Amino acid sequence: MKNLKEFKPLWKFIKEDRIKIIIAGIIILITEIANTMGGYLNGMVVESATKLDIKKALTYLGIYLSINIVIDAWLYMKSYAMLQKVENKISRKLSFNTYQKAINLPAYAFEKTSSGEIINRITSDADSLSFIFGRIIQTISSLIGAIVILIYIFINSYIIGIEIIFFMVLLYLVIKRFNPKVIKLHKERRKEQDKFASLVNESIRGIREIKTLGVKNNLIDNVRDIIKMIFNKSVEETDIYTKYKTLIKIIRSLLEATVFATCVILLFKSYVTLAYFISITYYVYKFMYLIDEINDLTEMYQKLVVSLTRVNEILENRLYQDEEFGNKKFKNVIGKIEFKKIKFNYPNEKSLLKNFNLTIEPNKKIAIVGKSGQGKSTIFNLLTRIFDSKKGSITIDGINIKDLDEDELRKQVSIIRQEPFIFNRTILENFKLINKNIKLKDVREYCKMAYLDDYIMALPKKYNTVLGEGGVNLSGGQKQRLSIARTLAKKSKIVLFDEATSALDNNSQEYIKKSIDSLVKDHTVIIVAHRLSTIIDADIIYVIDDGQVVGSGKHNDLLLNNSIYKNLYETESLNS
């Protein structure tokens, strides 16, 4: 019964259609109770026929056919179709809300949970709700119908009634024994399927790297191991389910044989009528059908509880809390940034930034340099609130970024990474994600500013060219420039470049440099640089070491006065 709590969050998805569910449930219940008359009517048809009362036999037969055609076929199917539509609607709502919740999870959630697991929770787990209400209502209706039948059976023969109750109790004990085992194995199998989905996702997205790195066979081995594990769990699940089904079939056969044998004896001794005997043969099969329904519903319930638990962990923030934002907006954004006494470390790692202070003035080209692992990219992660600092505050124009409305923060701060994420859509559609009303002429203007328009216009489909997953059809420099053009379309005041030119050739690097220079006059531009040669003309260069600012100034001043910067520059020059 403790698993019933997993159904509670569904109420908000059901509320809107609860009247339809109730109406459909009542109709299904009426049809089920009407169907309980089938055994009695069949018995009366046979008994009337044996007494050569053809008129009476045909009357009972006509009533039986009317119930089957009007109530069972037409009315029942109408109500069931209504339920299926409601179920599909609820399932779609559940998928959407799970997706929406997942998108709002903090960044560290995606580091701890694989993409495959999250994808499965949004898609297959949420979709498992389909058809469950119809099955539950049908089973409950069948159970009520069975109680009505049982009353009829007891009235005519308490012996047969006791036999049926005995076998129903036996069935319950079998179900109770096997349920926990099936649920446990199903959970384990779903975990392995999450790993499989995640690995397949990585393999498809990184197919070029996989081929060039020569790791294809290693990945195939990994997939083989995971599939073998899934197979083994499936075999265990099948073995238990086979034992379960075997016991159910034995119970069915024993119930059928016992009841029929008892009926024959009672009929021989004239304790029951022929009509009752015929009706019992019909009703026993109704109980067989009920056993099948309970069996199927139990199996579905086991899997549904697993799926709902996984979905509810996201919907109810059981694993991670949602990101929290304020409601403040900028009246006239200037772009001045201040880091005040920031302390930060990644989960399970030592402190990275220690009492970190930094002030960045607007409309300047700012560079941040330092050795690897000193917190340069972390500064961007904190400013974009991918992660939040443990202590201290970060402000833009004097407003704490935690107090800003999420849309306001995302609008005013843009980041261009070393590997920008490009959507598998056309070039124009990539911009329409930024602004659905954007015009092609404006997009072209932004691309011209990013030195990309000439290349796009030379393509056969121009701005209607599909870029492929992750922008696979673009070079590294073209991705960077497209990312800059998208940022221009956002009209962000603060633009961050995270190692944006470290992997580019000299020609691409020059284009990016021109794009950056064109932004400086009315944007706050901050560059985390690996190649110092790309930022020697920055207005201010900040040197980071051991989680703190250890120097600032222009290139020449730092060469003379900062040993860390001098060593970085000389090492780069020597390598070059």
pLDDT at residue number 111:
67
Q: For residue 497, give the H/E element and its range.
A: strand 494-498
**CA 71, 77, 82, 87 torsion: positive or negative?**
positive
Distance of alpha carbon 51 from the chain centroid: 65
**CA 376, 381, 387, 391 torsion: positive or negative?**
positive
For the chain, what is the mean pLDDT?
79
Q: For 436-447, what is each residue's pLDDT tens digit? A: 888 999 999 888
Q: For residue 73, give the H/E element and its range.
A: none
| C-alpha to C-alpha distances, 452 to 211, 416, 432, 479, 511, nearest whole angstrom | 29, 16, 17, 10, 9
Place of tokens 């056919």: 65
* Whether the Cβ atoms of residue 544 and residue 339 lie closer than 8 Å to each other: no
* Whether the Cβ atoms of residue 387 and residue 108 lie closer than 8 Å to each other: yes
Query: pLDDT at residue 18 above 60?
Result: yes
Instruction: Indicate the domain borders of the chain.
Output: 2-175+247-315, 337-575
Query: pLDDT at residue 511 above 70?
Result: no
Q: Which of 31-40, 202-211, 305-314 has the lowest mean pLDDT?
A: 202-211
Q: Is 549 helix (H, G, I), strand (E, B) or coil?
A: strand
Could you tell me which residues come within 8 angstroms of residue 374 by beta carbon, excluding any fewer than 6 positions away?
544, 545, 546, 547
Q: For 237-282, what is each residue's pLDDT tens digit? A: 888 878 888 888 888 888 888 888 888 888 888 887 888 878 887 7
CATH of domain 2-175+247-315: 1.20.1560.10
- Tell me, yes or no, if the two domains 2-175+247-315 and 337-575 fold the same way: no
Query: pLDDT at residue 368 above 70?
Result: yes
Q: State how far the Cα of 93 lies from the Cα of 242, in Å rounded to an integer.
A: 35
Could you tell me which residues come within 8 angstroms of residue 522 by beta carbon, excluding any fewer than 6 positions away?
363
* Whether the Cβ atoms of residue 304 and residue 132 lie closer than 8 Å to each other: yes
Q: State how far the Cα of 283 lies from the Cα of 551, in Å rounded to an integer.
A: 89
pLDDT at residue number 440:
92
Q: State how far the Cα of 55 lies from the Cα of 45, in Å rounded to an integer.
A: 10
Edge-to-edge order in the sheet of strand 391-396: 353-360, 337-344, 391-396, 399-400
Q: State how far the Cα of 237 lies from the Cα of 185, in Å rounded to an integer.
A: 6
Higher pLDDT, 402 or 74: 402
AA identity, residue 242: T
CATH fold of 337-575 reads Rossmann fold (3.40.50)
pLDDT-derived band at 340 (thresholds 50, 70, 90) equals very high
